[in-house]
Amino acid sequence: MRATALPLLALAVLLGVSVLVAIGLGPTSVAPGDTARYLWAALSGGSLPAEEASRYQIIWQIRTPRVLLAAVVGAGLSAVGVVIQALVRNPLADPYILGVSSGGAVGAVAVSLFGALAGFGIYAVSVGAFLGALGATALVYAVAYGRTGVTPLRLVLTGVALAFGFQAVMSVMIYFTPTSEATSTVLFWTMGSFGAATWGALPVAAVLVSAGIIVSRRHGRALDVLSLGDETAASLGVAAARVRRALFVTTAVMTGAMVAVSGTVGFVGLVVPHITRMLVGATHARLLLIAPFLGAILMVWVDLLARTLVAPRELPLGVLTALLGVPVFIMLMRRRGYVFGGV
């Protein structure tokens, strides 16, 4: 624990600074001092001059929930990536390899195009994405379940196959969409965005992601053993099937919550776990402390780039994470002395 205390403190400070800077930057830039003053006024109920009301609204009502949501999603994607890579013993796995995000996208697209779940109002798309993700999880697990239970290989192959199926269903729905405006909205959503972030959406996502990280970290020792194989786990008294099932459900709920508020964002859950292993080793209890902070910092800055590079237009998050993630992943792969999934 002492070995991670200093890096954890440094990352916490860096995350706080990143959040403060990201909240202040945009088409209407606000100095860090003023940003902090507006945030303090909102939290403490203080008053501000009338001429600063518009900037205060931009900072508190628009940017703050968006930046905080970016941090939550970045932390969650990184933690889920760490867990999934251990569960399936595949260093190329990420939160979306099991088809969960594709199922969530199908649910969101169905709501957007056909008006399903209209009773949930402005949260209909998020609810649809969450239900789609959970439905995809149940389907993947049911199909992958065999006479010997659920093995990592069957889980990965089933997830990849069904992910393609979900994407095909989504493509057909988009193809037959009556309006081009709806099509562009859906396509943008499926590539990731925090543009619809609100204070209403933030607490649910934050609670589910935080709870999932806590549960995953409590299984840190089991993940260490699972990464060595089910036979080794059995010899050490770890019930591989039970742990895999529990963490599969946990990561599915986390992924569903994140897809519901941000769409599909790739590469974060793939790359951040490997970078974290290079920094602090392969012990999962330690990984699940550091990786969420690294992911949160990365996502805050990626979102800042997405909304400022071509302002007033906004780039899809998935495009930026791929442009950043691919070269980093190639560098990691070619790095001498680094073994994927190992120390």
Per-residue pLDDT tens digits for 239-271: 888 888 889 889 888 888 888 888 888 889 888
Which residues partner with 149 through β-bridges? 146
With respect to residue 342, please indicate whether it lies within any of the assigned structural domains. no
Task: pLDDT band for 26, please (50, 70, 90 cuts).
Answer: confident
8 Å CB contact between 133 and 163: no
Helices (H) and strands (E) in the chain, counts: 15, 0
Q: Indicate the range of 90-99, 128-137, 301-310 predicted with least confidence.
A: 90-99
Q: What is the mean pLDDT of residues 45-65?
A: 88
The closest of 91, 153, 70, 13 to 277, measured between CA atoms, is 91
pLDDT in tens, 183-229: 666 666 678 888 878 898 899 899 999 999 999 999 999 998 888 77
Task: pLDDT band for 343, please (50, 70, 90 cuts).
Answer: very low
CA separation for the pair 91, 78 (Å, rounded): 13
Q: Is the dihedral of CA 151, 341, 301, 46 positive or negative?
A: positive
Examine the pLDDT at 20 and tell me if it is beyond 90.
yes
Range of the domain at 108: 2-334
pTM comes to 0.89
- CATH number (domain holding residue 266): 1.10.3470.10
Q: Please tell me whether residue 149 adopts helix, strand or coil conformation.
A: strand
With respect to residue 343, please indicate whether it lies within any of the assigned structural domains. no
What pLDDT, on the 0 to 100 scale, is given for residue 255?
87
Examine the pLDDT at 122 and tell me if it is beyond 90.
no
Examine the pLDDT at 96 and tell me if it is beyond 80.
no
Give one DSSP letter per residue of 7-52, joined into a string. HHHHHHHHHHHHHHHHHH-SSS---HHHHHHHHHHHHHT----GGG
CA separation for the pair 236, 241 (Å, rounded): 14
With respect to residue 94, please indicate whether it lies within any of the assigned structural domains. yes
With respect to residue 341, please indicate whether it lies within any of the assigned structural domains. no
CA separation for the pair 28, 319 (Å, rounded): 24
Q: What is the mean pLDDT of residues 305-312?
A: 86
- The CA angle 88-91-97, to the nearest 5 degrees, is 60
Mean pLDDT of the chain: 84
Examine the pLDDT at 80 and tell me if it is beyond 60.
yes
Number of residues that make up the chain: 343
With respect to residue 340, please indicate whether it lies within any of the assigned structural domains. no
Q: Which two tokens stand for residue 53?
A: 């009301």
CA separation for the pair 329, 198 (Å, rounded): 32
Task: pLDDT band for 337, please (50, 70, 90 cuts).
Answer: low
With respect to residue 267, please indicate whether it lies within any of the assigned structural domains. yes
Residues 6+ apart with CB under 8 A from 284: 82, 83, 86, 217, 219, 220, 221, 223, 224, 227
Phi, psi of 146 (to 5 degrees): -125, -170
The closest of 320, 101, 69 to 196, measured between CA atoms, is 69
With respect to residue 120, please indicate whether it lies within any of the assigned structural domains. yes
- The CA angle 148-82-330, to the nearest 5 degrees, is 110
With respect to residue 284, please indicate whether it lies within any of the assigned structural domains. yes
More confidently predicted of 244 and 11 = 11
Give how many domains the chain has, as a whole number: 1
Cβ neighbours of 29 (radius 10 Å): 11
